[in-house]
Amino acid sequence: MYDELLTQLSISKRIVFFTGAGISAESGIPTFRGEEGIWQKFRPEELANFSAFMRNPKLVWEWYQYRRKIVRDSLPNPGHTAIVDFEKYFDVTVITQNVDNLHNRAGSKKVYELHGNIERNYCVRCKKRFDYKEFPDTESPPLCDCGSNIRPDIVWFGEYLPQDQFAASEKAAEQSDIFFVVGTSSIVYPAASITSIAKSAGSFVVEINIAETEISNRVNLFLKGKSGEILPEILNQLKMKSL
Ligand code: BV8
Ligand code: ZN
């Protein structure tokens, strides 16, 4: 079933998994777009940007507390764990747009987080960092001892991505032999530009998604289906082949 991919894998060393909300869908974390996406209920402009937070810190803080609870009650799924298992055979880098920390919890060794991490927070003024466990269930946003608001360490719309993570991701994409794009609609920039960097550097680009996206006609291989099923299946076939 995956003959072409297995052939590519047999001559590859460096693999990148570029992931979006779709890889966490089977862990019970809602995606952003699509019929059951959270953007259906909430408008990102109202919540996922700095001015919305400064206008109404309580509303935005509550929204992230609600999402943190969903994340805390979730577990990595077979898609996340298959990516960890790939580390036994390849040099693996994970570049994620997700803020749910599930790749780290699954045990991936090299994870670049382009949009931050919902378990981390920092003070808007003095940048002091706080772990979410320091204020597990406060409704209103806690204040830093310098008196300013504490915000989630998440990249909001109109904000720059962490330069070190982005630069390292570009390099990993350029050097990859195979570049998996897993569970993302590929419409948020500059994160989505990482795939074109891999493609123009000559990587074999494989998209795994339950539906076609706007990049599906530009990748080398489109595998339609759930990442929590396809990734373990590829690994099984790889193990069978190398036995
Ligand atoms: C920036 C908030 C430079 C945090 C997110 C106007 C002003 C400023 C910037 C812009 C502008 N207009 C456009 C931009 C650029 C903007 C952007 O790209 N907008 C898009 C919407 C057009 N980007 C930015 O603002 C970025 N910053 O450009 O700074 C700058 C600075 C100043 C001024 C100008 C420019 C910052 C990006 C924001 C990142 N933060 N969210 C939060 O609350 O999480 S983005 C949000 O979307 C998430 O963080 C997520 O990471 C990201 C991508 O979404 P996906 O992961 O792809 O999820 P989605 O639901 O879309 O898709 C899921 C996919 O999975 C689907 O394809 C589905 O079919 C599939 N799927 C589902 N189940 C499965 C599955 N696949 C496999 N298996 C399954 N089981
Ligand atoms: Zn402070």
Q: Is 36 in the pocket of ligand 1 (CB under 6 A)?
A: no
What's the burial of 58, exposed, middle or buried (CB within 10 Å: 0-12/13-18/19+)? exposed
Cα–ligand 1 centroid distance for 47 (angstroms): 13
Lowest mean pLDDT among 108-122, 128-142, 181-195: 128-142
Nearest CA, atom 80, ligand 1: 226
Task: Provide the mean pLDDT of the chain.
Answer: 94
Answer with the residue of higher pLDDT: 210 or 45: 210
* Cα gap 108→93, rounded to integer Å: 8
One DSSP character per residue, 50-116 reads HHHHHH-HHHHHHHHHHHHHHHHT----HHHHHHHHHTTTSEEEEEE---S-HHHHHT-SSEEETTE
Of 64-68, 97-101, 178-182, 208-212, which range is least confident? 64-68
The pLDDT, as a whole number, for residue 243 is 63
pLDDT tier for residue 242 given thresholds of 50, 70 and 90: confident
Mean pLDDT of 178-192: 97
CA dist list (Å): 107 to 17, 104, 171: 14, 5, 22
Segment 76-102, tens digit of pLDDT: 999 999 999 999 999 999 999 999 999
* Ligand 1 pocket, residue 93 CB under 6 Å: no
Task: For residue 189, give the ligand 1 atom closest to its CA.
Answer: 18
Residue 142 has pLDDT above 80, yes or no: yes
How many Å lie between the centroid of ligand 1 and the Cα of residue 155? 10
Mean pLDDT within 9-26: 98
Nearest CA to ligand 1 atom 73: 22
Give the whole-angstrom CA distance, residue 87 versus residue 51: 41
Whether 232 shows a pLDDT value over 90: the answer reads yes
Test site for ligand 1: of 31, 42, 219, most ligand atoms within 8 A of the Cβ? 31
> Looking at the CA of 146, which ligand is closest?
2
Q: Any idea which residues carry the catalytic annotation?
A: 115
Instruction: Name which residue leads in pLDDT, 14 or 47.
Output: 14
Lowest-pLDDT range of 28-42, 49-63, 138-152, 153-167: 28-42
Instruction: Give the residue-averaged pLDDT of 177-187.
Output: 98
Read off φ and ψ for residue 178, nearest 5 degrees. Answer: -125, 135
CA of 44 to the centre of ligand 1 (A): 10
Q: Which atom of ligand 1 is found nearest the CA of 31?
A: 60
Which pTM value belongs to this model?
Answer: 0.96
| 91: number of Cβ within 10 Å | 16
Cα 11 from Cα 15, distance rounded (Å): 11
Domains and their CATH numbers in the chain: 1-28+76-115+162-243 (3.40.50.1220), 30-73+120-154 (3.30.1600.10)
Answer yes or no: is the C-beta of 156 below 6 A from any ligand 1 atom: yes
Q: What is the DSSP string of 184-240?
A: ----STTTTHHHHHHHHTT-EEEEEESS--TTGGGSSEEEES-HHHHHHHHHHHHHH
CA distances from 31 to 39, 43, 200 (A): 8, 14, 28
CA–CA separation, 102 and 172 (whole Å): 20
Looking at residues 129-139, what average pLDDT do you find? 82
Mean pLDDT of 187-212: 98
Higher per-residue confidence, 18 vs 34: 18
**24 class by beta-carbon count within 10 Å (0-12 exposed, 13-18 middle, 19+ buried):** buried
